Amino acid sequence: MNKWTEILLDERFEEPLHGSAAPALFQNSLFVKPSFDAMKHDRYNPKSYFYSRGNNPTVNLLESKLAQLENGEDAKCFGSGMAAISAAIMSVLSAGDHVVCSNSAYQPTRDILGKYLKRFGVEATFLDAVDESGWRAAIRPNTRLFLLESPSSFLFEIQDLRAITSLAIEKGIVTIMDNTWATPVFFNPLDIGIDLVAHSLSKYISGHSDVVGGVVIGSADRLKKIKHDEAALFGGRMSPFEALLVLRGLRTLEIRMEQHQQSTLQLARFLEDQPKVRKVIHPGLESHPQHSLASSLFKGYSGLFSFILNTDLAGTKAFVDSLRIFQIGVSWGGFESLALPVAILEEPIPYVLDGQEVDVADTLVRVSVGLEDAEDLCEDMLQALKRV
């Protein structure tokens, strides 16, 4: 049976549904037992329902489906993507360990590695390298973790994930990858040997901009530790209602991702032909310097990419303020189209243009292409470019 057909079925749900076509919402905080012996038996049974901070039928259903999508053995949902990635990181690292991470990874991820965990004796190296050689050079005797995120969130650099993962396996280093951009529709990191996969469920998987959540997926052994320690002790649980909303989003994930991909490639190619656009940065375009590598890794491309305007900061402001369909906002992966002028972040963004490294922060715009008509999105961009 096709994986996506299985995802639409709720056969794993153990509670009676009474013929309901949709999963039940178990909003309760606790589960009572009929006797002393039953309570004692369930107290330490990981498959029983005792208290919703640990197990909840609605959340567990979502976890089983997400594990299935990523070809993992188990999954644990959290109240945010940062709760998920932080739990995954802390499940691996101890005082005195060293971690290697791309310096273009999500800023809060870099902060927890380079600032917060530094207080507890964890060392971090951040590097530009997209190939195996840079990661190999960064390894120390105490290197315990590689934190991967591909593509990077503003410049869409692609890491050679197969080579880096092979290096990690060779050296006994644990790998964690943020797979939010590609989603399980277009890439399954566990299939190439990565140990743990994290997602922000706030993005494509829920898809409706009404949920904040995260998930970690991997082997049963690794998830057993995360559930017992990081999830239970730090308490960053996902609520049953949010799990139900994500389950709803899963029903349309595959067809939504196909639409995001088609509209985004149409818009990216349109922008490549505009004289007021200096550079379009999308790994699905032949003009991307790592297009071949991206094509060898991913089965498709999502709706997030960037472009550099042929203007200055004032022109960038005029452009984004003139957009009508694209709204200015952070996050991405919902039904609506968004534009984020990177200058808002007030940090340098070095990029090689015409053979020279320049700071493109003032003119770089990241867009998340939603589910609106692609022609309308192109027209919106065109009318805004006329204001530059």
Residue 109, Cβ density class (10 Å: 0-12 exposed, 13-18 middle, ≥19 buried) = buried
> Closest Cα to residue 250, out of 213, 201, 179?
201
pTM: 0.93
**E-assigned strands of 298-383?**
304-309, 327-328, 338-341, 350-353, 356-359, 364-368
Overall size of the chain counted in residues: 388
C-alpha dihedral, 99 to 101 to 103 to 105, nearest 10°: -130
Tell me: the pLDDT tens digits for 125-179? 999 888 899 999 999 999 999 999 999 989 999 999 999 999 999 999 999 999 9
- CB neighbours of residue 229 within 10 Å: 13
Q: Which amino acid is at 25?
A: L
> Can you tell me the distance from the alpha carbon of 117 to that of 56, in angstroms, rounded to the nearest whole number?
31
> Can you tell me the distance from the alpha carbon of 225 to that of 74, in angstroms, rounded to the nearest whole number?
11
> Closest Cα to residue 320, out of 304, 349, 342?
342
Q: 146 and 173 in contact (C-beta within 8 Å)? A: yes
Structure confidence at residue 73 (pLDDT): 98
H or E element that contains 126: strand 123-127
Q: 254 and 4 in contact (C-beta within 8 Å)? A: yes
Structure confidence at residue 270 (pLDDT): 98
Question: Three-state SS across 220-279?
Answer: HHHHHHHHHHHHHHHCCCCCHHHHHHHHHHHCCHHHHHHHHHHHHHHHHHHHHCCCCEEE
The gap from C-alpha 70 to its chain's centroid, in whole angstroms, comes to 13
Q: 109 and 149 in contact (C-beta within 8 Å)? A: yes
Structure confidence at residue 32 (pLDDT): 83
Pick left, alpha or beta for residue 102 (phi over 0 → left; psi -120 to 50 → alpha; otherwise beta): beta
> Closest Cα to residue 227, out of 196, 182, 183?
196
Q: 274 and 349 in contact (C-beta within 8 Å)? A: no
Residue-wise pLDDT tens for the chain (388 aa)?
Answer: 787 787 777 655 555 566 677 788 888 888 888 888 888 888 777 778 877 787 888 999 999 999 999 999 999 999 999 999 999 999 999 999 999 999 888 889 999 999 999 999 999 999 988 889 999 999 999 999 999 999 998 999 999 999 999 999 999 999 999 999 999 999 999 999 999 999 999 999 999 999 999 999 999 999 999 999 999 889 898 999 999 999 999 999 999 999 999 999 999 999 999 999 999 999 999 999 999 999 999 999 999 999 999 999 999 999 999 999 999 999 999 999 999 999 998 888 888 888 888 899 999 999 999 999 999 999 999 999 999 9
**Bridge pairing between strands 123-127 and 74-78:** unpaired
Domains and CATH numbers, the chain: 3-250 (3.40.640.10), 253-385 (3.90.1150.10)
CA distances from 194 to 161, 319, 320 (A): 9, 40, 38
CA distances from 243 to 13, 62, 85, 246 (A): 14, 6, 18, 5
H or E element that contains 78: strand 74-78
Per cent of the chain over pLDDT 70 is: 97
